[in-house]
Amino acid sequence: MAEFQIVGVIGKLDDPRVAPTLNALCGHLLRRGCEVLVDRGARALLRRSAARVVSRAELARHSDLAVVIGGDGTLLSAGRTLAPAAVPILGVNQGRLGFMVDVAPENFRAALDQVLKGRYVRERRLLLDAQIRRGGKLRGPFLAINDVVLRNQAAVRMLEFETWLDDEFISQHRADGIIVSTPTGSTAYALSGGGPVLHPSLEALTLVPICPHTFSDRPLVIGSDRAVRIVLSGARGTRATCTCDGQHDEPVVSGDSIEIRRSPHVLELIHPSNYRYFNLLRNKLHWGQERAPVSR
């Protein structure tokens, strides 16, 4: 019996450029004998097809594999629904940079055929859960694939906040905010903020201050087995935002704390069998041409 018999398809919302790939992909899967579930958000892009249109929650409950067509933002949105259901994701890149959606649209048939035959690379990426504590009440948890970010709402004033690792005090900060990033998110906002690139296999997080007031406030790399706590201080009326993956916002005020820990869920990514992480980085970050292995 094939490993992936029911395949969910999720397309970038309201983007007609996705329609040709989405329809061709659904047709290809149906011809291969798969049952195809299409996310309701992409219904307007779907031509007449034997594919079944369902809610994203139902797609997550029943799919053996999900194919996401769009950019990394589309995959992040889908992944927060699919990860708790342990549905692996194959990404077809119709966005811009595409660190996680690594299959080119013109190559999706060959890539899908290999995946359906069991020839692929499977990755498990760690995720974050964030909760916001105000007094004795908690909001959350909110799931994040890339990062949890505390950022300023004021146009000119910096934020003042503390960082803790479990009950161990790290530092006081004056900055525009801070990024707590997974290895997956280390090539996203954290990279723009001067943070290091972490290999996806690492059990680690980065703490990257955003435009800190002092040059000595540098990015940190920590283990993922301990909780990060960010306590917003400053004057009464200080307002900030806690953002997960740049897509889900929660208000934060002075005295609130953001508690971030490794999620029990993981994101499973499916790649073509020739996938190599550093080859991806070279192509996306323009590091240079691939070189042949050095014989020993």
Q: Catalytic residue numbers? A: 72
* Nearest alpha carbon to residue 68 among 30, 42, 31: 42
**Which residue is associated with the tokens 């041409």?**
289
Dist. CA 172–CA 234, nearest whole Å: 11
Cis before 84 (ω within 30): no
Which residues have CB under 8 Å from 281's CB, separation 6+?
A: 187, 197, 287
Which residues have CB under 8 Å from 284's CB, separation 6+?
A: 97, 98, 99, 187
Which residues have CB under 8 Å from 283's CB, separation 6+?
A: none
What backbone torsions phi and psi does residue 185 show, to the nearest 5 degrees? -80, -5
Question: 43 by DSSP, 3-state: which?
Answer: helix
